[in-house]
Amino acid sequence: MICAPAPIDVLLVTAKQGAVDHKPEPIYGGYSNARGEISLFAEDLVYRVNFKNQTVRQRPGLNFEAQARYDAAAAGEPFEYCNAQFMRLTNAQIIEICSSGSFRATPRLI
């Protein structure tokens, strides 16, 4: 039997601005890119976080090779994929993001 890893924290996501219902989304990891954009891994999707507007947008997950490089990096350590630098977030950073309040989900761009 394969055991799924325990979530690091839970991100509260609302469907609309001012909505009362929060959907708790377990977060299992995340990374930042060179521009400082944060992406968090939920169970089946990735959220790009916008702190200024307190929003999250669903993004495609990492491809196999990028995921392997992410998995090989220790928390807080950089990794590279396609000549771009990324930083794997630490558990403390993820907890800080998740505890910063609820985020409104914005439509995914195709």
What's the mean pLDDT in 76-82? Answer: 91
Q: For residue 61, with 0-12 CB atoms within 10 Å meaning exposed, 13-18 middle and 19 or more buried, which class applies?
A: middle
Q: What amino acid occupies position 30? A: G
Does residue 55 register a pLDDT over 80?
yes
pLDDT cut 90: percent of the chain above it: 47
Sequence spans of domains, the chain: 9-106
Integer angstrom CA distances of residue 89 from 24, 38, 62, 85, 108: 20, 9, 15, 13, 23
CA atoms within 13 A on the CB side of 82: 8
Q: Which of 4 and 39 is assigned the larger pLDDT?
A: 39
Does residue 27 register a pLDDT over 90?
yes
